[in-house]
Structure 1
Amino acid sequence: MINPTSPRSPLGERVQALYVRVLLRLLPLPINLFKHVSPKIRAEVDYLADGYTFMLSVRGTSLACVCQRDAAGTFHRVPPARVARDVEPGSGLASAQPGAVAVDYVIDFRSLAYAFRCFSGGMTLKGALAERAFSTRGPNDTGVALTYLFTALLRLFFGWRATYRTSASWPSAVRP
């Protein structure tokens, strides 16, 4: 007899989870690479202070990535064991644990489907924000910098996707 509450998810969900997991694991690499290509990404990385830490996570899953900026402006993944457990991520509070990294800002996707759509170029961050696909915690100024950083990063990465292409022609009534 097949158990209808089996923990196995459909193939599509497993593929989405694998895709999001790989991109989260590789996240510091495109940031560090594209900051040499894009002045916009470089400006946003430079705005974030040395030691700045952010986390991307997907509710209802174990998918998460914590990245920290070093003095050279390079982002590195923070192992889950080093993430502070005594303070709420994005709270702005310092951890009392020795060697623990407190998370300054959190972007928490509501579902795997929303995270997949954003990470695959199927939905822009602006569209995701309008649909409330994710919630955030942390200071607004660095949150805006991260949003600009990720928008530029996704545009470079998914520029071939229709959602990220800019319109080539504007109606003549809109032009100055």
Structure 2
Amino acid sequence: MIMATQTQPTFSERMKKLYVRILLRMLAFLSSNMRYVSRKVQAEIDYLDVGYTFMLDVKGADLTCICRKTEEGRFRRVPLREVATDVEPGSGLSSAQNDAVTVDYVIAFRSLEYAFQCFSGGKSLQDALAERAFTTRGPNSTGVSLTYMFTALLRSFFFWRRAYRNQPVASTN
């Protein structure tokens, strides 16, 4: 009988997972409160309907965050136990479970490394999307709004990082 050996995560991997976990835990708070700092964030929040629910998932790291827009225009974290289990998140289908929350849009990072690069300002969401670092599921109109909102959030935090600095426009002289 051959036993599969499971390697222990390195210190660096554990720190990356902790970092991403902390940012995911803070996501509802940051999304709700950055609207006071950034008009772009406020505009994207205004575009989303009350009850709109999105999910960020990091494959292979067992990290997930689900946020729902409240009537006050803020976001609250939704515990996994409250999410509908009879429909696929981001499918647009209604749940037969009366009190369950359905997820309207999903952003699923392919790995912890990709999530860490985006959440630490090492890579912009646009670059990560071009590299297919994450997949999305749900209506494109609200997905674009979420992408703009997250870009504005990350730019506010990581303006000093190359991926989020305003790049000079090339001249045509």
TM range (shorter): over 0.9
Once structures 1 and 2 are overlaid, which stretch shifts more, 130-139 or 25-34? 25-34
Number of corresponding residues: 171
Q: Provide the rounded CA distance (Å) in 1 between the counterparts of 2:39 and 2:154.
A: 14
1:38 and 2:25 are equivalent in the alignment: no
Q: In percent, how many aligned pairs have the same letter?
A: 58
- Residue 37 of structure 1 deviates from its aligned partner by 1.2
- SS of the residue 1:127 aligns to: helix
Q: Provide the rounded CA distance (Å) in 2 between the counterparts of 1:172 and 1:133.
A: 31
Q: Provide the rounded CA distance (Å) in 1 between the counterparts of 2:169 and 2:148.
A: 23
Cα separation, partners in 2 of 1:143 and 1:172, compared to 1, 3 Å:
closer
Q: Give the match for residue 128 of structure 1.
A: 128
1:131-170 to structure 2, matched below 5 A, reads 131-167=131-167, 169-170=168-169
Q: Give the match for residue 88 of structure 1.
A: 88
Q: Provide the rounded CA distance (Å) in 2 between the counterparts of 1:35 and 1:108.
A: 24
Is there any run of 5+ residues in structure 1 with no aligned partner, and where? none
Cα deviation code 1:44-96 (max 9, x no counterpart): 00000000000000111210000000111100000111011110000001111
Q: Which amino acid in 2 is paired with 1:124?
A: S
What is the CA RMSD across the aligned residues, in angstroms? 1.5
Q: Give the match for residue 54 of structure 1.
A: 54
1:8 and 2:12 are equivalent in the alignment: no
Once structures 1 and 2 are overlaid, which stretch shifts more, 111-120 or 92-101? 92-101
Q: Which amino acid in 1 is paired with 2:137?
A: R
- SS of the residue 1:35 aligns to: helix
Q: Which amino acid in 1 is paired with 2:38?
A: S
Once structures 1 and 2 are overlaid, which stretch shifts more, 110-119 or 96-105? 96-105
- Residue 10 of structure 1 deviates from its aligned partner by 1.2
- Residue 98 of structure 1 deviates from its aligned partner by 2.7
Q: Provide the rounded CA distance (Å) in 2 between the counterparts of 1:42 and 1:171.
A: 30
- SS of the residue 2:36 aligns to: coil
Q: Provide the rounded CA distance (Å) in 1 between the counterparts of 2:102 and 2:126.
A: 27
Q: Provide the rounded CA distance (Å) in 2 between the counterparts of 1:106 and 1:123.
A: 20
- Residue 157 of structure 1 deviates from its aligned partner by 1.1
Cα separation, partners in 2 of 1:6 and 1:152, compared to 1, 3 Å:
same
- Residue 170 of structure 1 deviates from its aligned partner by 4.0
Is there any run of 5+ residues in structure 2 with no aligned partner, and where? none
Q: Give the match for residue 106 of structure 1.
A: 106
- SS of the residue 2:101 aligns to: coil
- Residue 32 of structure 1 deviates from its aligned partner by 1.2
Q: Which amino acid in 2 is paired with 1:104?
A: D
Q: Give the match for residue 115 of structure 2.
A: 115
